[in-house]
Amino acid sequence: MIAPRRFLPSVSSLLALEAVDRLGTATAAADELALTHSAVSRQLKALQEQIGVTLVKREGNGLILTSAGIEYAASIRDYLQYLARASLRIRAAGERSSLNLAVLPAFGTHWLLPRLSQFSEENPDTIINFGTRLAPFDFTREPFDAAIHFGAADWPGANHLELASESMIPACSPTLIPVGPVEPSELLSLPLLHLESRPGAWEDWFAGHGCSAGHLRGMLFDQFAQMAEAAALGFGVALLPRFIAEAEFRSGRLRPAAAEFTSVDGAYYIVWPQICTPSRPLDKLLRWLQVAR
């Protein structure tokens, strides 16, 4: 149920309040909004009369926000951004149905997008919008219909469909290891690159190859793409998933630093909230992925 009209100010009055808070003066807000100074003042007056709380006060020849006005402006800023994003999604989709998908950037780029080209050909009435999220989130607080998740099937309150398993291989610039691959123990003397979301990945890899690794140190990254780029520039050895490593090996930017890929715990899933029935676009994508994966 939508709140009563008395609690729903006009967007123009909210824009005026947000602009004054962000820019510092009503004059600057008027310039940005292509309004006169008096028009901004009227918007603010109407807003505080509707809310019933003093949001602005006069100081000298200008207007400043009260503490209540500053707090309210901060609250509505997220609403205005959400409204703008929602309008953009509708405009971009046109008459087509849209689906908002949160992805892990490397998996989305190298594994998912190449497969979705076929889905788009078969479903021209559906458009998929991508956003990046590196960790699980609350679907009730984010504008996504589904997300890509790596690890166990443990996203709280979500259904899981497994898409792909994971295998990794150390990779580095040809300048770092001119002749390779090398024995796992030899990598312990080289700089190792680490991913924030995979703590202990190198330790597990060495243990699986019969090597005792202590407290490994090195550069830290939050995305595989950045880590692969650093490895190509010679900063160290990166432990990369197959879908990135094979592309880098074909380009010649990186070379295998070990003899083979190693399977690791965890898999990639598409997840969606259990509390609601999938939308028609999401249902079509889930059915398609069950076959195409």
Report pLDDT digits (tens) over 151-161: 999 999 999 99
Q: Do 19 and 161 belong to one domain?
A: no
What is this structure's pTM? 0.68
Which band of pLDDT confidence, cut at 50, 70 and 90, is reported for residue 140? confident
Q: Do 148 and 196 belong to one domain?
A: yes
The reported pLDDT for the residue numbered 39 is 87
Q: Do 112 and 233 belong to one domain?
A: yes
The reported pLDDT for the residue numbered 5 is 61
The reported pLDDT for the residue numbered 1 is 47
Q: How many domains does the chain have?
A: 2
For the range 229-236, what are the long-range contacts, defined as Cβ-Cβ under 8 Å and sequence gap of 24 or more? 230/193, 231/171, 231/172, 231/173, 231/193, 232/173, 233/173, 234/172, 234/173, 234/175, 234/176, 235/191, 235/193, 236/172, 236/176, 236/190, 236/191, 236/192, 236/193
Residue 72's domain spans which residues?
Answer: 5-92
For the stretch 129-166, what's the b/e string if a residue is b when 16 or more beta carbons lie within 10 angstroms of its beta carbon?
bbeebeebeebeeeebbbbbbbeeeebeebeebebbeb
What CATH code is carried by the domain that includes residue 108?
3.40.190.290
Per-residue CA distances from 125 to 79, 96, 98, 130, 211 (Å): 29, 5, 9, 17, 53
Q: Do 214 and 72 belong to one domain?
A: no
The reported pLDDT for the residue numbered 271 is 97
Q: Which of 38, 63, 92 is the last residue of a domain?
A: 92
Which band of pLDDT confidence, cut at 50, 70 and 90, is reported for residue 34? confident
Report pLDDT digits (tens) over 59-74: 776 778 888 888 888 8
Q: Which of 63, 92, 121 is the last residue of a domain?
A: 92
**Mean pLDDT over each residue of the chain, to the nearest integer:** 88
Report pLDDT digits (tens) over 89-137: 566 544 457 899 999 999 999 999 999 989 999 998 888 999 999 999 9
The reported pLDDT for the residue numbered 109 is 92
Q: Do 134 and 206 belong to one domain?
A: yes
260, HSE (Cβ side, Cα atoms, 13 Å): 5
Cβ atoms of 228 and 240 within 8 Å: the answer is yes
Of the two residues 119 and 212, the one the predictor is more confident about is: 119
The reported pLDDT for the residue numbered 93 is 46
